[in-house]
Structure 1
């Protein structure tokens, strides 16, 4: 059975987006990106929602041919561009990013079907509403957070406020930037 892995940047107060969707609070770091790529469970596909798809589809296809990006980013872009992407949306009609499949059916039943497959895990980036629903249904196996030392006070929380989730720490790493990577698995 495939594992589902969340990889998201969050603030100290648990937000993954600012109140208006802004993400200017990230403290970027090549060290953290490399470590986040290495930590956790191997994955071979993405599960994402409409907004995340629209943001990623504008960015990742351009990286491989842009001389301003380091080789590590180009390698990561190649992997992401080539892997299957399952996009959950009721409003999108066409997907232009290679290897993307639109799924309009019930999120929980569709994800349960995908989990039945063999092979490495599936990665969720962004996609806060999807994460909240899959967490509530007990379908997420691992959470990898890049914790940024910022408190927003308000924004979009990674978890619903009434959502209790018992997790076990698998690994943690800290960086000069102040970011900390936390890898948890569901108990």
Structure 2
């Protein structure tokens, strides 16, 4: 992520974990067991901190909103959680959040412990407006359907692709059909503990 201060023309970064065969989940009931060894590792925690600290707006879909708000408040308050986990939880709770959904309404968001969240409906138009607003960069949090839509609209500037050494054989693919694009490699990070690789690609 960019470490720049407030500015217009913000970059959109998409962070997503995928299997070796290109799936971001096994489907609607994905329990994420296939990637939890990596997610819970200290190496992963340090890596993700370098991504989210550069963002001033988080973008996510309904599934991740419901999953995150069910789990993260407890992690944030748990004294057994690491300092980085608690910091990330506080950031998630307070950062500007746009939740793209066809079913939730604002009252659903307001019932949670998290603040500064609003409903988004028109993905392309609202993300274009966010890019032109003052602020730090925009981070899409592991929501494959949102990332697909933004990729198709040419609105993803940075792609943080974490590849877990597991094949799922089916589920939700990250890249939409017939999507062709060219990227440049910024960094490649290896995680020996989980045999995982994270690749940061960008569009100049």
Moved over 6 A (4+): none
Cα distance in 2 between the residues matched to 1:182 and 1:5: 13
Greater fraction helix: 2
Q: Aligned-residue CA RMSD in angstroms?
A: 1.7
Q: Does 1:59 align with 2:75?
A: no
**Deviation digits for residues 151-180 of structure 1, max 9, x if unmatched?**
112111111131112111100011112011
The farther-off stretch of 140-149 and 30-39 is 30-39
Contact 1:40 1:142 in 2 (8 A): no
Aligned residues: 186
Q: In the TM superposition, what is the alpha-carbon distance from 1:33 to its structure 2 partner?
A: 2.3
Quick one: which of 159, 163, 185 aligns to 1:169? Answer: 185
Quick one: which of 123, 139, 143 aligns to 1:107? Answer: 123
Matches within 5 A, 1:99-178: 99-104=116-121, 106-176=122-192, 177-178=194-195
Residue of structure 2 in register with 1:24 after alignment: 33
Cα distance in 1 between the residues matched to 2:52 and 2:64: 21
Q: In the TM superposition, what is the alpha-carbon distance from 1:20 to its structure 2 partner?
A: 4.5
Structure 2: any 5+ residue segments left out of the alignment? 1-8
Matches within 5 A, 1:39-118: 39=51, 42-93=54-105, 94-95=108-109, 96=112, 97-104=114-121, 106-118=122-134
Quick one: which of 34, 40, 56 aligns to 2:46? Answer: 34
Quick one: which of 6, 17, 28 aligns to 1:9? Answer: 17
Structure 1: any 5+ residue segments left out of the alignment? none
Q: In the TM superposition, what is the alpha-carbon distance from 1:41 to its structure 2 partner?
A: 8.3
Cα distance in 2 between the residues matched to 1:83 and 1:24: 27
User: TM-score w.r.t. structure 2 length?
Assistant: 0.85
Q: In the TM superposition, what is the alpha-carbon distance from 1:19 to its structure 2 partner?
A: 3.6
**Deviation digits for residues 11-68 of structure 1, max 9, x if unmatched?**
1111110144422110322202211321598211101111111111112222221123
Cα distance in 2 between the residues matched to 1:20 and 1:90: 16
Cα distance in 1 between the residues matched to 2:69 and 2:118: 13
The farther-off stretch of 31-40 and 142-151 is 31-40
Change (3 A) 1:66 1:8: same
Residue of structure 2 in register with 1:180 after alignment: 197
The farther-off stretch of 124-133 and 136-145 is 124-133
3-state SS, counterpart of residue 159 of structure 1: coil
Contact 2:16 2:143 in 1 (8 A): no
User: TM-score w.r.t. structure 1 length?
Assistant: 0.92
